[in-house]
Amino acid sequence: MTASTTRRTTAARSRIAAVGAIAVAGALLLTGCGDQTGSGGDSGEGKSNSAPLFDKLPQEIQDAGVLKAGTNAEYAPMEFQEGGKIVGVDPDIAAALGEKLGVKVQFTSGSFDGLITALNSGRYDIAMSSITDNKQRQEGLDDKGKKLGPGVDFVDYFVAGTAVYVQKGNPKGINSIEDLCGRPAAVQRGTTYEKALQDQSKKCTDAGKKAVKIQSFENDTEAQTRVKSGGAVAGVNDYPVAVDLARKADNGNAFEVIGEQVDAGPFGIAVNKDNKELTEALEAAVNAIIEDGTYKKILEKWGAETGAIDKAVVNGGK
């Protein structure tokens, strides 16, 4: 289910003008698994025309009053489902961006590896799901440089690297990603950390060691379960996600993170390359929430301060 905003008719506006202005309060709409839900941050429909960055938006989004966002809500604290709502760092940042832009932000949760395809097909206006901005995604290429389809532009808003997590107590003695040669490791399919495992596996074989036994899953929950059960000696994930997992899973008794994050890079809001106007509006909105302190408060709320940036960048990934 999606939510839509109906424009007032000329007659309706005349009647409103006759009786005085009416302020209409709106709320950020978050949609997950077909259910319409609400989340933190108000973005009022009645405030749309007076929002500081409203005029920067494409006309069709101004008319709709809604920015449709695709996500994969399985990455606490970045985006996850709680009580039927999609919550986390990204939804809160989106709510703040909606305030600056004067529109509602509507999230729909789907598979991670299908987000960019869905974006370019027109299902979403943006994709926001801890997506690492890199040249491969900008140009629509696979791991071997083969063209898969249209690329996307990114508005970078966060920085994170890859982390390795293991069972609590580290029973298999894994101290770094280099220790995974010849051993099973779990990861979500289509992610940059799956690519990190593939790169490490090649380093293993180039050094005369056995390849990493990569176990790729449709969603991250399955990968976590495989590590927890002992079917994989480690899992690989985004650093803030792995840290949150170690802190919260089974009250902190299920996992631990090994070493520091590696290969840190930007997370970006993905936008269709033909929609430069929206890209520029989002860049301005990210900078606006950084400047007024809202961005910092959101990251502090979720314990994600290590990923803070000083200024939005378009296509800053390598």
Q: List the CATH number of the domain containing 216.
A: 3.40.190.10
Q: From start to end of 74-138, where are the E strands? A: 74-75, 79-82, 85-87, 104-109, 126-127
**Residue 39: what pLDDT?**
39
Q: Burial, 184: exposed, middle or buried (Cβ in 10 Å; 0-12, 13-18, 19+)?
A: middle
Residue 73 lies in a domain: yes
User: Do 172 and 184 belong to one domain?
Assistant: yes
Q: Say if 10 falls within a structural domain.
A: no
Residue in the structure block whose two tokens are 């301005």: 284
pTM score of the predicted model = 0.78
DSSP for 154-193, written as a single string: EEEEEEEEEEEEEETT-TT---SGGGGTTSEEEEETTSHH
Q: How many CB atoms lie within 10 A of CB 128?
A: 28
SS3 308: coil
Phi, psi of 60 (to 5 degrees): -65, -30
Q: Which residues of 220-253 are buried (b: 16+ CB within 10 A; e: fewer)?
A: beebbebbbeeebbbbbbbbbbbbbbbeebeeee
Q: Give the domain extent around 221.
A: 161-264
Is the domain of 204 the same as that of 77? no
The residue written with tokens 């987000």 in the block is 115
- In this structure, the answer to whether residues 42 and 144 fall within a common structural domain is yes
In this structure, the answer to whether residues 220 and 71 fall within a common structural domain is no
Residues 6+ apart with CB under 8 A from 279: 153, 155, 271, 314
Q: Counting Cβ atoms within 10 Å, is residue 272 exposed (0-12), middle (13-18) or buried (19+)?
A: buried
Q: What is the pLDDT, as a whole number, of residue 49?
A: 64
Residue 71: strand, helix, or coil:
strand
Q: Are residues 123 and 52 in the same domain?
A: yes
Distance CA 195, CA 199 (A): 6
For residue 11, is it within any domain? no
Same structural domain, 150 and 292: yes
d(CA 54, CA 81): 29
Per the structure, the count of domains in the chain is 2
Query: Each residue's pLDDT tens digit in the chain (318 positions)?
Result: 433 333 333 343 333 333 343 333 333 333 333 333 333 334 444 444 699 999 999 999 999 999 999 999 999 999 999 999 999 999 999 999 999 999 999 999 999 999 999 999 999 999 999 999 999 999 999 877 889 889 999 999 999 999 999 999 999 999 999 999 999 999 999 999 999 999 999 999 999 999 999 999 999 999 999 999 999 999 999 999 999 999 999 999 999 999 888 889 999 999 999 999 999 999 999 999 999 999 999 999 999 999 999 999 999 999
How many other β-carbons are positioned within 10 Å of the β-carbon of residue 144?
6
Is there a single domain that holds both residue 75 and residue 221? no
Whether 193 is in a domain gets the answer yes
**Domain check: are 250 and 143 in the same one?**
no
Domain membership flag for residue 6: no
Residue 12 lies in a domain: no
Cβ atoms within 10 Å, residue 6: 9
pLDDT of residue 262: 86
d(C-alpha 8, C-alpha 11), whole Å: 8
Are residues 257 and 302 both part of a single domain?
no
Q: Do 52 and 136 belong together in one domain?
A: yes
For residues 43 and 183, state if they share a domain: no
* Beta carbons of 227 and 241 less than 8 angstroms apart: no
Q: Which of 229, 245, 264 is the last residue of a domain?
A: 264
Residue 92 lies in a domain: yes
Q: Is residue 212 located within the same domain as residue 278?
A: no
18, part of any domain: no
CA–CA distance, 58 with 74 (Å, rounded to integer): 30
